[in-house]
């Protein structure tokens, strides 16, 4: 394919490619990129690049004063902000791990011969489409320590439920559980697509060889559904690391700062008018995400080639 673009002369030539003639004008012009590129560059690339500069300034949107790494120093000296970093990682790892395990188990269940498969698939998937804020508010009330449905039900079977969102040691994990409740349907769907694409011959051969269902799982489903596993891990890590709306709807980072993540720190600093510090938080999040996702996706893709 020639990449030559001759705007002026092309019109006079015949559009049809002759046997010897090269096409002067590609039917796939580069300017098709232009409208999208302008929007993307102005509203995504420019902010991302300039964020590195603005994170080193004291900034009011209208003028900025360069102060070097002061914002980062503040960020890493303030215990409340540093804990946001660890919470982000814990939250991402917990949600992503649970989605992989539960998603795979649910997918195996929902591809097996059981009654009500269509209903089960729908009901597991539907929360994915529901408003995060709506889910967050609903579960905040369900998790109410005294009156909430969850603790009242637990009391019926004699368990004294914790203050899911009010106990500092549970708040972050409770939100993570709700995140899994809402997001596991997507992981399940991805695994179902992966399992369904495994050729039936493998299972038949395994049956002839007398493999147990346990062996089926470890030797056939798990290795051959590997691309699905990668997709689930990457998607849920990306989502978990930048998660904001569910946490904000349920705890606003509290009690204290015990469920603050970087994304909520960014919002709080922005609200407080510390734009430079907020942007520094954004850069930290950027570095964290790229440091985790890019090597991981390269590693996972390499493994896939080996397969």
Partner 1 sequence: MTAVASSTPSPVSRRPRKNLVLSVVAILLSVVVFLVPFAFILLTAVKSRQQASRLDFSWPTQFQFVQNFLDVVQARDYMLIIAFINSTILTVASVSILVVLSAMVAFVLQRRRTRWTGLINFLVLSGLIIPPAVVPTIWVLEKFGLFRTMPGLILVEVAFGLSFCVLLFRAFIATIPRELDEAAVIDGAGPLRLFFRVILPLLRSVIITVVVVQSVTIFNDFVNPLYFLPGDQNATVQLTLYNFSSAYSTQYNLLFMDILLITIPPLIMFLFFNKRIVAGMTAGAVKG
Q: Which of residues 237-276 bind partner 1 (CB under 8 A)?
A: 238, 241-242, 244-245, 248-249, 263, 266-267, 270, 275
Mapped onto helix, strand or coil, the DSSP state of residue 204 is helix
Decide: is 108 part of the binding site for partner 1 (CB under 8 A).
yes
Binding of partner 1 at residue 100 (CB under 8 A)?
A: no
Vertex 231: Cα angle to 184 and 170 (nearest 5):
40
CA–CA separation, 146 vs 211, rounded Å? Answer: 50
169 binding partner 1? (CB under 8 A) = no
Q: Which range in 66-74, 77-85, 92-100, 128-136 contacts partner 1 by CB under 8 A? A: 128-136
**Max Cα separation, the chain?**
86
Give DSSP secondary structure letters for 67-90: -TTHHHHHHHH-HHHHHHHHHHHH
From the list 25-33, 70-78, 154-162, 253-261, the region that binds partner 1 by CB under 8 A is 25-33
Q: Which of 204, 218, 291, 299 binds partner 1 (CB under 8 A)?
A: 204
Residue 203 interacts with partner 1 (CB under 8 A): yes or no: yes
Question: Beta-carbon neighbour count of residue 88 at 10 Å?
Answer: 26
Pull the structure tokens for residue 29: 């012009």
Dig out the tokens for 191 from the structure: 């695994």
Exactly one of 164, 170, 191, 257 binds partner 1 (CB under 8 A); that residue is 191
Using CB under 8 A as the binding rule, whether residue 231 contacts partner 1 is answered as yes
Could you tell me where the beta strands, DSSP code E, fall in 60-141? 64-66
Q: Looking only at residues 26 through 65 of this chain, which bind partner 1 when binding is defined by CB under 8 A?
A: 26-30, 32-33, 35-37, 39-40, 42-48, 50-51, 54, 59, 61
Instruction: Give the nearest distance from C-beta 218 to partner 1 in angstroms.
Output: 12
Q: What is the three-class DSSP state of 95?
A: helix
Q: How far is the CB of 167 from partner 1 (least distance, A)?
A: 19
d(CA 276, CA 73): 12
> Where are the strands (E) in the chain, listed by range?
57-59, 64-66
Stretch that binds partner 1, among 69-77, 89-97, 145-153, 166-174 (CB under 8 A): 145-153
């Amino acid at each position: 394919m020639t990449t030559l673009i001759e705007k002026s002369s092309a019109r006079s030539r015949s559009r049809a490619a002759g046997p010897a003639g090269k096409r002067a004008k590609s039917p796939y012009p580069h300017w098709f990129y232009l409208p999208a590129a302008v929007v993307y560059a102005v509203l995504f690339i420019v902010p991302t690049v300039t964020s590195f500069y603005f994170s080193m300034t004291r900034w009011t949107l209208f003028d900025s004063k360069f102060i070097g790494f002061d914002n980062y120093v503040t960020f890493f000296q303030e215990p409340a902000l540093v804990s946001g970093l660890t919470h982000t990682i814990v939250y991402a790892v917990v949600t992503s791990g649970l989605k992989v395990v539960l998603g795979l188990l649910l997918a195996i269940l929902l591809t097996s011969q059981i009654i009500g498969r269509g209903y089960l698939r729908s009901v597991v998937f539907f929360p994915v489409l529901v408003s995060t804020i709506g889910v967050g508010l609903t579960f905040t009330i369900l998790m109410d320590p005294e009156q909430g449905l969850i603790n009242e039900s637990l009391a019926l079977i004699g368990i004294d439920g914790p203050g899911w969102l009010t106990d500092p040691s549970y708040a972050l994990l409770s939100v993570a559980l709700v995140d899994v409740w809402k997001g596991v349907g997507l992981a399940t769907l991805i695994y179902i697509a992966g399992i369904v694409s495994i050729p039936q011959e493998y299972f038949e051969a395994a049956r002839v060889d007398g493999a147990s269902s346990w062996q089926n799982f470890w030797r056939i489903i798990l290795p051959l559904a590997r691309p699905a596993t990668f997709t689930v891990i990457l998607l849920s890590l990306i989502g978990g690391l930048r998660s904001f709306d569910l946490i904000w709807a349920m705890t606003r980072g509290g009690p204290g700062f015990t469920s603050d993540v970087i994304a909520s720190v960014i919002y709080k600093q922005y609200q407080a008018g510390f734009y430079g510090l907020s942007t520094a938080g954004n850069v930290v999040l950027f570095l964290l995400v790229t440091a985790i996702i890019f090597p991981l996706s390269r590693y996972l893709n390499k493994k896939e080639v080996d397969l």
